[in-house]
Structure 1
């Protein structure tokens, strides 16, 4: 989609497809078509919400081994889970292969301390398809036929160092010879509250194998905490054609009926803690949540209820499924009475086929018709992962800190001021919303900057949801009263890069630049967030910023979030660039709003002035005219300022020095005539401070004025490093640290020698502890920001610039072509190569058609090979590959 500079965007088109018509009537989060979706988390154990310990060790407070016997307080988890948008009633899948020591009810993985590179799920599943109203969704889970090696995985990984690869499920040999079932789950809605479910298990192994399928329906436990003692009820019932059924009765949701196609056995228990199994304490529920597990796996039915409870399962079992054979079970969940007297499975298959066709029709209108078949499939898989990654997130910090009336009082240590007490500054935060998560298992909690990137991709398929998500982070029950956006539940007070404004502008434009009400709402709230940055992260009012962590774990030679020695401060190239970038995004939105409402004219002037101040400070600050730019190296660096004012540059070429590139915007031609206050102020500055404007506003013959913290000469010098394969340019995109440091470098700071080396794969540093590494790998979100910026330069001051690409090749191309070439490398990570593998395939993915059918959207990618690393279902910001494939182009 392209808009001209003087266009307000196309008028809303009439819905062209059935799914678009559903979206048109489902703009709000409580719309009927959004009531049900795959909102069940991939993991609830080990989260901050479930941690009531004194020391804040969430992994130890609620470990995996308690998940099947202990009731959760705030949410639920499951395989292929489906629930209502409030998380009351859940439908998931349990499995047993006849060998495991427990039902497979949830995915297994290592905790952060157990993994040699942090938390790490040890299962394989892929999201195959989904539509934004969840009218249709498919996923597949790969279930081993032999006993799952829980202890083996823990023991093997615990003995591995950070320099060794992770020990994965495929390494154990359990999946050799394709000895697994592929369990494909499909959801399709006949109506907003009429959901069809199929579960198909296919034996890919060489021998017949047993299988038990137990679709499970349960209520989240809301009655054990002393805040609402009403207990909902599941009870045995019959379908209209006398099929086995479960009747659900809930005080808020009302009555639903889940009907099975056939006569499986129906098992009942309660979603309550087994006190003896969890804590070694007698008493508690006689029918706890593991009663179904005990009945199936151990043959002990003593804890089951007879015909009702708060957790229930249909139980199908096959003693032997032949090689290559499949079995299928069908379910239908409807509001009780909606299909009274009609066979639930009449027309079932026809509805499934219709929804599959509507999904194809919908994506044909989203993905450009010129897109090749493989790239279209990549985009569609990325969108599917985003939609399956939406989860109900409930967390009331005040209640969590205070504890519940019917439970033991939490340790008083939890109430200590931060950082000793977790999130004690965030008592106002109270969320019970469906939120797009970074990863279904490894990050089952939102992160503010991840979410902003998710929304840009989501805007192509569900702009209303994308806008609602951006606004949610800015609402008074999420945003801190001081204006800070919540970072993530492990530490809401941490600092994420300020990408919200950029994302809001992108979403507004992708949606056709017609929802000015959204733009007004989000800009108004982001004024508070901007003020927080200025007041809290610019210690001395120098217009340079000290953000600290900023999401880029391990990027420097030391922990940038830790306090420096007394009297020192760190002026960050990336933090300052992020703020200049945020200024320009706010300026661009203020320009847009001022076209119709003159009140925004002065707001545009304010952000213009602030951008100029930040850019000027990057050039020279302090009595010694210190700069973040190093003229000799032609690069930007962090700078440590000593107590006496002496400056020490941190001479390490990394993403920190590339990010000044993203602080760029082009000024539309209509600004001069539409914004009188802005235009007068610019003229005033031009008359009194021409040297400032001449350095930061770059008019080009025949092109638009460009606002940038880089002059054209500096832009070209940084760009040369960006496109140098010996530094930042990799086959799969842009590395986060220069490959010039393959042999390492020693940074001398404050009398200390700090060694750093380019590390293209998993982190070998304990800094921040987890699996994240910014010392070499390729990270999708910042790559997208860089190519977006290059396109902006190409439309303005760099319209005539030619650069050798790759550096040393002797071939010169324009800046827009450079952006396109880098984006092609990013998309190429997911394309099948001549060897039948994708560059992005993680190390543990075997060859063969059963594996190569499924691209993996990882958290980040190896800086040399492109192999996927970190979280293995990170279709959050990595789903930006769909944004590149479905590119929306705006003429500035």
Structure 2
């Protein structure tokens, strides 16, 4: 057991709270729904980037490379000033929804490089220009560009040319749960000597200005270059600053004079006081009494070309006579322990490039934890000490989620672009999280099913902008996968208490879906948005311009998958409690009726499978009862692959009540029995297959999916078939024509607005589910089923071989090719060749369908970190061959 694993065990046992402090600040609190108290719900405009340095937040704190305790009471972050910028660099800049030509987008250059799950060692890199940061140019150029043009990025401005920037490495190491070492290492990459002001900052989140509790914690100078932090809940901490910097104090309170033209009270020192002291030279902006609720240690550095300098600090509960005596030794020790931890995880991976990708992907996951605080009732009502919100807020977004009270550590999709959780994102996050910290992954899955998250009607909260929207129901899938991964880590001992607790809550959610999203009780589901943005003909979350509604192939398939997931969990629980056999039978029956509906929708006169095209389509059900297939070849038609489960004879023999119910249904409902793929014929090793696809349809669907002129790209499966490049789908109405055309990256349509700007790229979560489904089909069929890969090549692989080949294409997005280039970097030569860029990775939201370069949110490591499950050495497939290759045997399919 490595030392990091020991710390995880101590944290789990409660003997040492190693995760009390971590990277729990967001990268952006401004422009969020929580901080929006406007009458029109314009969150991006209510608190802007320019206002942020002067505005005391109500619900959370942001910081550059920030750390805090797990309730975000005491916060630490980094401030920088190059002598040219109009304000301190204390937070990341980006464009709002209305400013970007493809929606909101961070315009900074930063990388999460390393982290252990207890945050005993952590490292990130921020690249800070030496010249004035191009705020105005980024705003103006992106405003000028339309949807047809690429986004104008920070790298495009030339601000990093000739190496005229500082690399600022921010590192943390823990001597103990309450003893945090901070090391800031600054490198001058430019050709000339350059000055830099470095301002590490410590502050308390403002909990005293809202009228509930007037208690005010305190920071004050307590000796040379030492700050004492006192909080009634946290106790007393000491910030020790090496090399005797000057201490600058102010208060974490709103500067009403600057923001709202109010009269400034005498003797007040506002949140922007340190900024005004450094940038504007305002000596009166900081408190001469050396006390407040925010403090900065002021270091003035001058770096020669190629030189580096360190700034060292220590935040500790202990009073230390020599806080830096063991500083270097502790840092080296924690880094060595991090190396040992990752060597243990990657002991079978010989490729150093793959190991680097793996480690940075994990780092992105762990740096993206955030303390998320939002009480919807208080937010709607307003606070006693603040003017009441406008009456419009009572009818505004989330007004029917007044039970929701969140104050927890949650894995974020992207702490700048998506600094709020999303239900289905979080489910995917838990798979890579479980690799390094299965306890945290399990707690994340529990969290969304708690009473103070889940709606009383059983709905899971979607995301902050609209909790009532609908995400695909993948929570049960993630729960089962994390349970199995955790079971393997614990030598076969499964955490059935976790499994059972989440299962009971998910039954409520399944019932919500059945009652709310099956309009005609025909087992055909809607669901609306379901995460698919611009991929469809219409906005499925809005009233249709044609009237009527859409019978969704993906919504129905997700529910078939959900039923099978819950059935499988129930069978696991039935091993120790036979009562669950009846519940497993219930979900088996649900699956059968959904399977029937997929082929004979509703009244039996129509179905979602198109025999001519060999594909599944959404169906538009018009008010006059006419049904029209919306023949868009997209991942909507591939999602039926995911509803697949394999049961072996041994399990059935151990479940007599379940088996009896199962056989009664199949014997007495022949129309259902015929829809279950090859139930009467055991497969490899006396296994039985439950799937929406018979062998014939499976082969036809895979033939289209694996066609390089359609879905298969060099980098995985596209979200939209390339067929629609030359043959766009058009739906005509008297008022307008609606067109869907293949676009490999950013969409030219703003039909859905905001960041809904993709159409045909490669998307990791869907690709991961495709790979997992192929493995499960192979678990049943073995080598008896081979398919042409790629379609038209004359080369055949079994389904496990296809799964491995897809995994290689996906991991190839990040790997260096034979010329040393990474597809994820696109055509940017600085990223591809410069030694200070080429090995630092970003894990984008999605990837260009033709060349693989990263698009969308640049730090959405969450679901893209699924790459670490594909980076383990793959089962040998022997290359593409003319005959089937034997696959590596598996005891049970479980993804990778």
TM-score between the two structures when normalised by the length of structure 2: 0.95
CA shift in 2, pair 1:567/1:288, >3 Å: closer
Question: Which residue of the other structure, out of 854, 866, 872, is the alignment partner of 2:858?
Answer: 872
| Equivalent residue, structure 2, for 1:6 | none
| Equivalent residue, structure 1, for 2:303 | 321
Q: Aligned-pair RMSD on alpha carbons?
A: 1.6
CA-to-aligned-CA distance 1:90-143 (integer Å, 9 cap, x gap): 010000011111110000000011000011101011011100011110001000
Shift of 1:558: 1.3
CA-to-aligned-CA distance 1:751-804 (integer Å, 9 cap, x gap): 663221101111211122123345210110010001100000011146411111
Distance 1:268 1:701 in 2: 72
| Equivalent residue, structure 2, for 1:79 | 64
CA-to-aligned-CA distance 1:52-109 (integer Å, 9 cap, x gap): 0110000001111100111111101011101000001101000001111111000000
Question: Which residue of the other structure, out of 342, 350, 364, is the alignment partner of 1:363?
Answer: 342
Question: Which residue of the other structure, out of 257, 266, 291, is the alignment partner of 2:238?
Answer: 257
| Equivalent residue, structure 1, for 2:813 | 829
Question: Which residue of the other structure, out of 509, 516, 519, is the alignment partner of 1:536?
Answer: 516
| Equivalent residue, structure 1, for 2:294 | 311
Shift of 1:401: 0.4
Does the 8 Å contact 2:523/2:602 carry over to 1? no
Unaligned runs of 5+ in 1: 1-15
Shift of 1:862: 0.3
Unaligned runs of 5+ in 2: 875-889
Shift of 1:560: 1.0
| Equivalent residue, structure 2, for 1:590 | 570
Distance 2:682 2:809 in 1: 30
Question: Which residue of the other structure, out of 388, 394, 402, is the alignment partner of 2:381?
Answer: 402
Question: Which residue of the other structure, out of 748, 754, 757, is the alignment partner of 2:731?
Answer: 748
| Equivalent residue, structure 2, for 1:12 | none
Distance 1:581 1:563 in 2: 27
Shift of 1:254: 0.9
Q: Please list, as runs of the form range in 1=range in 2, the aligned pairs for 1:114-125 lying within 5 A after superposition.
A: 114-125=99-110
| Equivalent residue, structure 1, for 2:446 | 471
| Equivalent residue, structure 1, for 2:254 | 273
CA-to-aligned-CA distance 1:170-229 (integer Å, 9 cap, x gap): 111211111110000110001000111100000001111110100000111111111111
CA shift in 2, pair 1:396/1:842, >3 Å: farther
1:757 aligns with 2:741: yes
CA shift in 2, pair 1:603/1:749, >3 Å: farther
Shift of 1:634: 0.3
Question: Which residue of the other structure, out of 411, 419, 425, is the alignment partner of 1:450?
Answer: 425
Secondary structure at the aligned position of 1:604 is classed as: helix
Shift of 1:29: 9.4
Deviates more, 1:457-466 or 1:507-516: 507-516
| Equivalent residue, structure 2, for 1:577 | 557
CA-to-aligned-CA distance 1:844-877 (integer Å, 9 cap, x gap): 5633111102111001000000000011011010
Shift of 1:692: 2.4
CA shift in 2, pair 1:29/1:432, >3 Å: farther
CA shift in 2, pair 1:149/1:774, >3 Å: closer
Question: Which residue of the other structure, out of 698, 710, 717, is the alignment partner of 1:727?
Answer: 710
Secondary structure at the aligned position of 1:548 is classed as: coil
| Equivalent residue, structure 2, for 1:713 | 696
Does the 8 Å contact 1:555/1:773 carry over to 2? no
| Equivalent residue, structure 2, for 1:648 | 628
Deviates more, 1:521-530 or 1:834-843: 834-843
Does the 8 Å contact 2:165/2:189 carry over to 1? yes
1:283 aligns with 2:283: no
Shift of 1:350: 0.8
Deviates more, 1:575-584 or 1:831-840: 831-840
CA shift in 2, pair 1:50/1:701, >3 Å: closer
| Equivalent residue, structure 1, for 2:754 | 770
Distance 1:688 1:368 in 2: 53
Does the 8 Å contact 2:845/2:858 carry over to 1? yes
Secondary structure at the aligned position of 2:619 is classed as: strand
Distance 1:474 1:592 in 2: 20
Secondary structure at the aligned position of 1:79 is classed as: coil
1:846 aligns with 2:831: yes
Distance 1:76 1:192 in 2: 22
Distance 2:669 2:873 in 1: 39
Secondary structure at the aligned position of 2:181 is classed as: strand
Secondary structure at the aligned position of 1:105 is classed as: coil
Does the 8 Å contact 2:684/2:782 carry over to 1? no
Shift of 1:565: 5.5
Q: Please list, as runs of the form range in 1=range in 2, the aligned pairs for 1:394-543 lying within 5 A after superposition.
A: 394-416=373-395, 421-512=396-487, 514-543=494-523
Distance 1:833 1:165 in 2: 25
Distance 1:28 1:218 in 2: 30
Does the 8 Å contact 1:622/1:645 carry over to 2? no
| Equivalent residue, structure 1, for 2:358 | 379
CA-to-aligned-CA distance 1:318-361 (integer Å, 9 cap, x gap): 2x3111100101111101xx244x31111111111111111111
1:347 aligns with 2:326: yes
Does the 8 Å contact 2:592/2:675 carry over to 1? no
Shift of 1:368: 4.3
| Equivalent residue, structure 1, for 2:581 | 601
Shift of 1:749: 5.3
| Equivalent residue, structure 2, for 1:812 | 796
Secondary structure at the aligned position of 1:92 is classed as: strand
| Equivalent residue, structure 2, for 1:50 | 35
Shift of 1:700: 4.1
Secondary structure at the aligned position of 1:854 is classed as: coil
Does the 8 Å contact 2:271/2:294 carry over to 1? yes
Does the 8 Å contact 2:238/2:319 carry over to 1? no
Does the 8 Å contact 1:368/1:886 carry over to 2? no
| Equivalent residue, structure 2, for 1:174 | 159
| Equivalent residue, structure 1, for 2:227 | 246
CA shift in 2, pair 1:774/1:791, >3 Å: farther
| Equivalent residue, structure 1, for 2:645 | 665
Shift of 1:372: 2.0
Count of aligned positions: 865
Shift of 1:555: 1.1
Distance 2:19 2:697 in 1: 49
Distance 1:835 1:176 in 2: 23
Does the 8 Å contact 2:348/2:872 carry over to 1? no
Distance 2:467 2:13 in 1: 26
| Equivalent residue, structure 1, for 2:12 | 27
CA shift in 2, pair 1:104/1:138, >3 Å: same
Secondary structure at the aligned position of 2:18 is classed as: helix
| Equivalent residue, structure 1, for 2:877 | none
